[in-house]
Amino acid sequence: MHRYALKVEYHGAPFSGWQRQAEHASVQAAIEAALAKLEPRDHTIAAAGRTDAGVHATGQVAQCDMARDWDPFRLSEALNFHLKPAPVAITACAQVTDDWHARFSAIERQYTFRLLMRRAPATLEDGLVWQVKQPLDAELMRQGAAQLVGHHDFTTFRSSICQAASPVKTLDEITVTEVEGFSGPEIRFFLRARSFLHNQVRSIVGTLERVGTGAWAPEDVRAALEAKDRAACGPVCPPQGLYLTGVVYPEDPFAI
Protein backbone atom coordinates (compact mmCIF):
# COMPACT_ATOMS: atom_id res chain seq x y z
CA MET A 1 0.00 0.00 0.00
CA HIS A 2 1.06 3.58 -0.67
CA ARG A 3 0.18 6.38 1.75
CA TYR A 4 -0.77 9.89 0.67
CA ALA A 5 -1.28 13.14 2.54
CA LEU A 6 -4.21 15.21 1.32
CA LYS A 7 -4.78 18.91 1.99
CA VAL A 8 -8.54 19.40 2.07
CA GLU A 9 -10.75 22.44 1.68
CA TYR A 10 -14.49 22.29 2.36
CA HIS A 11 -17.60 24.31 3.00
CA GLY A 12 -19.03 22.80 6.16
CA ALA A 13 -22.68 23.81 5.78
CA PRO A 14 -23.99 20.63 4.06
CA PHE A 15 -22.18 18.29 6.42
CA SER A 16 -22.74 16.94 9.90
CA GLY A 17 -19.01 17.43 10.43
CA TRP A 18 -15.83 15.69 9.36
CA GLN A 19 -16.47 12.29 10.91
CA ARG A 20 -18.37 9.61 9.04
CA GLN A 21 -21.90 9.00 10.39
CA ALA A 22 -24.42 6.38 9.43
CA GLU A 23 -27.34 8.64 8.55
CA HIS A 24 -25.80 12.04 7.86
CA ALA A 25 -23.49 13.49 5.22
CA SER A 26 -19.89 14.01 6.30
CA VAL A 27 -16.68 15.21 4.70
CA GLN A 28 -14.92 11.95 5.53
CA ALA A 29 -17.63 9.89 3.83
CA ALA A 30 -17.52 12.11 0.73
CA ILE A 31 -13.78 11.60 0.30
CA GLU A 32 -13.97 7.87 1.02
CA ALA A 33 -16.70 7.52 -1.62
CA ALA A 34 -14.48 9.32 -4.13
CA LEU A 35 -11.56 7.02 -3.27
CA ALA A 36 -13.82 4.00 -3.85
CA LYS A 37 -14.42 5.23 -7.39
CA LEU A 38 -10.69 5.00 -8.01
CA GLU A 39 -10.04 1.74 -6.16
CA PRO A 40 -13.31 -0.13 -5.54
CA ARG A 41 -13.20 -1.27 -1.92
CA ASP A 42 -13.89 0.13 1.54
CA HIS A 43 -11.64 3.06 2.39
CA THR A 44 -11.01 4.53 5.83
CA ILE A 45 -9.14 7.82 6.04
CA ALA A 46 -7.87 9.77 9.05
CA ALA A 47 -7.70 13.53 9.53
CA ALA A 48 -5.69 15.95 11.63
CA GLY A 49 -8.85 17.13 13.38
CA ARG A 50 -12.56 16.33 13.48
CA THR A 51 -14.44 19.52 12.70
CA ASP A 52 -18.04 19.91 13.85
CA ALA A 53 -21.16 20.41 11.76
CA GLY A 54 -21.05 23.70 9.87
CA VAL A 55 -17.32 24.27 10.41
CA HIS A 56 -15.21 24.93 7.32
CA ALA A 57 -11.61 24.17 6.38
CA THR A 58 -8.98 25.59 4.10
CA GLY A 59 -6.13 23.56 5.56
CA GLN A 60 -7.48 20.27 6.85
CA VAL A 61 -5.04 17.39 6.32
CA ALA A 62 -6.03 13.76 5.83
CA GLN A 63 -4.32 10.53 4.83
CA CYS A 64 -5.33 7.69 2.56
CA ASP A 65 -3.74 4.37 1.61
CA MET A 66 -3.87 3.27 -2.02
CA ALA A 67 -2.93 -0.04 -3.62
CA ARG A 68 -1.81 1.66 -6.82
CA ASP A 69 1.28 3.86 -6.87
CA TRP A 70 -0.49 7.06 -7.90
CA ASP A 71 1.20 10.20 -9.11
CA PRO A 72 0.07 12.69 -6.39
CA PHE A 73 -1.15 15.30 -8.88
CA ARG A 74 -3.20 12.74 -10.80
CA LEU A 75 -4.65 11.39 -7.56
CA SER A 76 -5.78 14.84 -6.49
CA GLU A 77 -7.27 15.55 -9.92
CA ALA A 78 -9.13 12.25 -9.94
CA LEU A 79 -10.49 12.78 -6.44
CA ASN A 80 -11.68 16.29 -7.28
CA PHE A 81 -13.51 14.92 -10.30
CA HIS A 82 -15.36 12.34 -8.22
CA LEU A 83 -16.02 14.72 -5.30
CA LYS A 84 -18.23 16.94 -7.47
CA PRO A 85 -20.73 18.42 -6.71
CA ALA A 86 -19.90 18.23 -2.98
CA PRO A 87 -18.19 21.43 -1.72
CA VAL A 88 -14.96 19.55 -1.00
CA ALA A 89 -11.65 19.94 -2.80
CA ILE A 90 -8.21 18.37 -2.55
CA THR A 91 -5.87 21.34 -2.90
CA ALA A 92 -2.60 19.42 -2.48
CA CYS A 93 -1.46 15.80 -2.41
CA ALA A 94 1.85 14.20 -1.51
CA GLN A 95 3.14 10.67 -1.06
CA VAL A 96 4.39 10.08 2.49
CA THR A 97 6.02 7.28 4.44
CA ASP A 98 3.97 4.45 5.90
CA ASP A 99 4.52 5.68 9.46
CA TRP A 100 3.32 9.23 8.74
CA HIS A 101 -0.08 9.99 10.30
CA ALA A 102 -2.30 12.99 9.62
CA ARG A 103 -3.35 13.24 13.27
CA PHE A 104 -0.53 11.82 15.36
CA SER A 105 2.33 13.34 13.35
CA ALA A 106 0.87 16.86 13.66
CA ILE A 107 2.51 19.27 16.11
CA GLU A 108 0.13 22.24 15.73
CA ARG A 109 -3.41 23.08 14.61
CA GLN A 110 -4.46 26.55 13.49
CA TYR A 111 -7.98 27.95 13.45
CA THR A 112 -9.39 31.22 12.16
CA PHE A 113 -12.77 32.60 13.18
CA ARG A 114 -14.54 35.33 11.19
CA LEU A 115 -16.97 37.67 12.94
CA LEU A 116 -18.80 40.15 10.70
CA MET A 117 -20.12 43.38 12.24
CA ARG A 118 -23.02 44.50 10.05
CA ARG A 119 -26.74 45.14 10.50
CA ALA A 120 -27.86 44.15 6.99
CA PRO A 121 -28.05 40.41 6.29
CA ALA A 122 -24.82 38.89 4.99
CA THR A 123 -26.32 37.59 1.76
CA LEU A 124 -23.12 36.65 -0.09
CA GLU A 125 -21.36 35.19 2.94
CA ASP A 126 -24.29 33.62 4.70
CA GLY A 127 -22.97 30.53 6.44
CA LEU A 128 -19.36 31.69 6.17
CA VAL A 129 -19.26 34.23 9.01
CA TRP A 130 -20.81 34.81 12.40
CA GLN A 131 -22.73 38.04 12.05
CA VAL A 132 -23.35 40.45 14.93
CA LYS A 133 -25.23 43.69 14.41
CA GLN A 134 -23.30 45.97 16.76
CA PRO A 135 -19.66 47.13 16.59
CA LEU A 136 -17.29 45.48 19.04
CA ASP A 137 -14.21 46.82 20.84
CA ALA A 138 -11.32 44.78 19.43
CA GLU A 139 -8.80 46.18 21.91
CA LEU A 140 -10.87 44.97 24.87
CA MET A 141 -11.15 41.59 23.18
CA ARG A 142 -7.37 41.45 22.76
CA GLN A 143 -6.97 42.15 26.47
CA GLY A 144 -9.42 39.36 27.28
CA ALA A 145 -7.72 36.94 24.87
CA ALA A 146 -4.36 37.56 26.54
CA GLN A 147 -5.74 35.97 29.73
CA LEU A 148 -6.02 32.62 27.94
CA VAL A 149 -2.62 32.26 26.27
CA GLY A 150 -0.40 29.67 27.92
CA HIS A 151 -0.70 26.35 29.75
CA HIS A 152 -4.05 26.14 31.56
CA ASP A 153 -6.89 23.92 32.67
CA PHE A 154 -9.53 24.84 30.06
CA THR A 155 -12.46 23.05 31.70
CA THR A 156 -14.54 26.24 31.44
CA PHE A 157 -14.05 26.32 27.67
CA ARG A 158 -14.59 22.61 27.07
CA SER A 159 -17.77 20.95 25.81
CA SER A 160 -19.54 18.71 28.29
CA ILE A 161 -19.24 15.87 25.76
CA CYS A 162 -15.52 16.40 25.10
CA GLN A 163 -13.69 13.07 25.03
CA ALA A 164 -10.17 14.41 25.65
CA ALA A 165 -8.37 12.69 28.50
CA SER A 166 -7.42 15.99 30.13
CA PRO A 167 -8.71 19.59 30.00
CA VAL A 168 -5.15 20.91 30.33
CA LYS A 169 -3.86 22.42 27.10
CA THR A 170 -1.28 24.95 25.98
CA LEU A 171 -2.75 27.73 23.87
CA ASP A 172 0.21 29.21 22.00
CA GLU A 173 -1.46 32.23 20.41
CA ILE A 174 -4.70 34.16 20.08
CA THR A 175 -4.57 37.11 17.69
CA VAL A 176 -7.54 39.47 17.39
CA THR A 177 -7.44 41.58 14.21
CA GLU A 178 -9.80 44.15 12.70
CA VAL A 179 -10.07 43.87 8.91
CA GLU A 180 -12.30 45.25 6.20
CA GLY A 181 -13.86 42.08 4.84
CA PHE A 182 -15.70 41.49 1.61
CA SER A 183 -19.07 42.25 3.22
CA GLY A 184 -18.01 44.77 5.84
CA PRO A 185 -15.88 45.18 8.95
CA GLU A 186 -14.75 41.93 10.50
CA ILE A 187 -12.93 40.83 13.60
CA ARG A 188 -10.80 37.78 12.91
CA PHE A 189 -9.48 35.50 15.59
CA PHE A 190 -6.43 33.34 14.90
CA LEU A 191 -5.67 30.57 17.40
CA ARG A 192 -2.92 28.00 17.38
CA ALA A 193 -2.07 25.11 19.69
CA ARG A 194 -0.83 21.56 19.46
CA SER A 195 -4.41 20.41 20.00
CA PHE A 196 -7.77 21.79 21.06
CA LEU A 197 -10.64 20.56 23.21
CA HIS A 198 -14.08 20.01 21.74
CA ASN A 199 -15.78 23.41 21.26
CA GLN A 200 -12.80 25.21 22.81
CA VAL A 201 -12.39 27.75 20.01
CA ARG A 202 -16.11 28.54 19.76
CA SER A 203 -16.35 28.86 23.54
CA ILE A 204 -13.42 31.27 23.60
CA VAL A 205 -14.73 33.40 20.74
CA GLY A 206 -18.23 33.54 22.22
CA THR A 207 -16.78 34.68 25.53
CA LEU A 208 -14.58 37.31 23.88
CA GLU A 209 -17.60 38.65 22.00
CA ARG A 210 -19.14 39.44 25.41
CA VAL A 211 -15.99 41.41 26.21
CA GLY A 212 -16.25 43.26 22.91
CA THR A 213 -19.77 44.41 23.71
CA GLY A 214 -18.75 45.64 27.15
CA ALA A 215 -20.90 43.06 28.93
CA TRP A 216 -17.73 41.46 30.35
CA ALA A 217 -14.51 43.12 31.46
CA PRO A 218 -11.28 41.60 30.13
CA GLU A 219 -10.47 40.45 33.66
CA ASP A 220 -13.69 38.44 33.72
CA VAL A 221 -12.13 36.07 31.18
CA ARG A 222 -9.37 35.20 33.65
CA ALA A 223 -11.98 34.63 36.38
CA ALA A 224 -13.94 32.33 34.09
CA LEU A 225 -10.79 30.35 33.24
CA GLU A 226 -9.84 29.98 36.88
CA ALA A 227 -13.35 28.84 37.81
CA LYS A 228 -12.76 25.57 35.89
CA ASP A 229 -16.52 25.38 35.51
CA ARG A 230 -18.42 25.12 32.24
CA ALA A 231 -21.18 27.30 33.70
CA ALA A 232 -18.69 30.19 33.94
CA CYS A 233 -18.17 30.25 30.15
CA GLY A 234 -19.77 32.86 27.93
CA PRO A 235 -22.14 31.82 25.13
CA VAL A 236 -20.73 29.31 22.64
CA CYS A 237 -20.73 31.03 19.27
CA PRO A 238 -22.20 29.36 16.16
CA PRO A 239 -19.97 27.21 13.94
CA GLN A 240 -20.28 28.98 10.60
CA GLY A 241 -17.46 31.47 11.17
CA LEU A 242 -14.92 28.82 12.15
CA TYR A 243 -12.24 27.52 9.77
CA LEU A 244 -9.48 24.96 10.25
CA THR A 245 -6.82 26.88 8.36
CA GLY A 246 -3.61 24.99 9.02
CA VAL A 247 -1.92 21.89 10.38
CA VAL A 248 1.81 21.92 11.10
CA TYR A 249 4.15 18.92 10.90
CA PRO A 250 7.84 18.56 11.73
CA GLU A 251 8.38 18.45 7.97
CA ASP A 252 5.78 19.89 5.62
CA PRO A 253 4.56 16.96 3.48
CA PHE A 254 3.41 19.36 0.76
CA ALA A 255 6.66 21.33 0.45
CA ILE A 256 7.99 21.32 -3.06
Query: Residue 162 has what pLDDT?
Result: 87
CB atoms within 10 A of CB 15: 26
Does the pTM surpass 0.75? The reply is yes
Domain 2-105 CATH assignment equals 3.10.105.10: no
The answer to whether the 2-105 and 108-246 domains have the same CATH topology is yes
Radius of gyration of the chain (CA): 19
3-state secondary structure 94-153: EEECCCCCCCCCCCEEEEEEEEEECCCCCCCCCCCCEEECCCCCHHHHHHHHHCCCEEEE
Query: Residue 160 has what pLDDT?
Result: 85
Every domain of the chain and the residues it spans: 2-105, 108-246
How do 2-10 and 130-132 pair as beta strands? unpaired
Query: Residue 256 has what pLDDT?
Result: 67
Query: Residue 113 has what pLDDT?
Result: 98
Active-site residues: which are they? Answer: 52
The tens place of each residue's pLDDT in the chain, 256 residues long, gives 999 999 999 999 999 999 999 889 999 999 999 999 999 999 999 999 999 999 999 999 999 999 999 999 999 999 999 999 999 999 999 999 999 999 999 999 999 999 999 999 999 999 999 999 999 999 999 999 999 999 999 999 999 888 889 999 999 999 999 999 889 999 999 999 999 999 999 999 999 999 999 999 999 999 999 999 999 999 999 999 999 999 999 999 999 6
d(CA 99, CA 60): 19
Q: 108-246, what's its fold?
A: Alpha-Beta Plaits (3.30.70)
